[in-house]
Structure 1
Amino acid sequence: MQRLQAAPDGPATRKMGAARRHVLVMGVSGCGKSTIGAMLAEALGLPFADADAFHPPENVERMSAGIPLTDADRWPWLDALGAWLAAEERGGIIACSALKRSYRDRLRGWVPGLAVVRLSGAPALIAARQGARAGHFMPPSLMASQFATLEPPGTDEEALALDIAAAPDAVAAEAARRLQV
């Protein structure tokens, strides 16, 4: 991961002097992206968006029916996310599964230098968290397809991996600390 430092007036910026900071909080459904992403955004003083809010109704209907999305389903959604990030003048944090490298590359097309926080955990823990959620359109039946699709960030991606076994506030605090190094 590229070294970062805290700016005198707020959020973390690159030592190279970039004025904006964009962070993707990624992982399979149920790993805590939305919760931890919102906490991280608050800690860094950046706006936050949950990728689920950007899905068109057709995508939500497919997932609600237990049908995994195709890449063709995802491209317009990822472009909407990238456009939101690019429009944020100070930077922003987005919670998005971004399971494939190509998805993260699509977002980087909008915001080069996108930092990635990958949340990972034991499948049993994630399944328990999914089972405890009420009213979410992503059914636990799609968890296996999420893990099968997952391509962890490569060594050439600005990324850090965090285990979700700890409490969400501790995971968010660790992410904030490591992003400000």
Structure 2
Amino acid sequence: MKTYLTRMRAKGHCPPRKPFKKILWSWLGAFIGILLVAYLGEILRYDNQSMLLLIGSFGASAVLIYGAPLAEFSQPRNVIGGHVFSAFVGVSVYLLIPSFPMFASALAVSLSIVMMQITRTLHPPGGATALIAVIGPQSIHQLGYFYVISPVLIGSLLLLFVALFVNNMSRNPKRHYPVYWL
């Protein structure tokens, strides 16, 4: 047991804070990206209770693609593929076992991870996208597989479009985005 617990000791130090310019670019990208998705969702919404294109996992995607644009998880392939494959898995699991949300939640998230790893599209917010398909409100469940298209595909494409625009406005070559497409 002691050997196991020693594995949890810190091996390094907290990295230094990022330069203020990088923080500012991250803020700008996240603000514009989420605002655009929310605004278009507001325009397209079909009832007073839904923001058609905005799901919680997009907040985590914004952290990655605007705050760490060079990371593997932040690349377009990962952002789009991770969300889309996870949404498909989440909807499929919900449709197969809607009566057992606890089991369906665990299965949707774990299978979405497997799917993202197989397709080389690992994007951590994808797990939340799959989970939302299972535990989301009735308005999400009513979408069925359309959830994969809207809000997931459309919203993630909007976030990506803003990332391409904002991340490449910086003069810093280390911020240019993307590192790879496919």
Question: What TM-score, normalized by structure 2, do the two folds share?
Answer: 0.32
Higher Rg = 2
Is the strand fraction higher in 1 or 2?
1
Q: Which has the higher contact order (CA 8 A, sep 6+)?
A: 1
Give me the TM-score of the superposition, normalised by structure 1.
Answer: 0.32
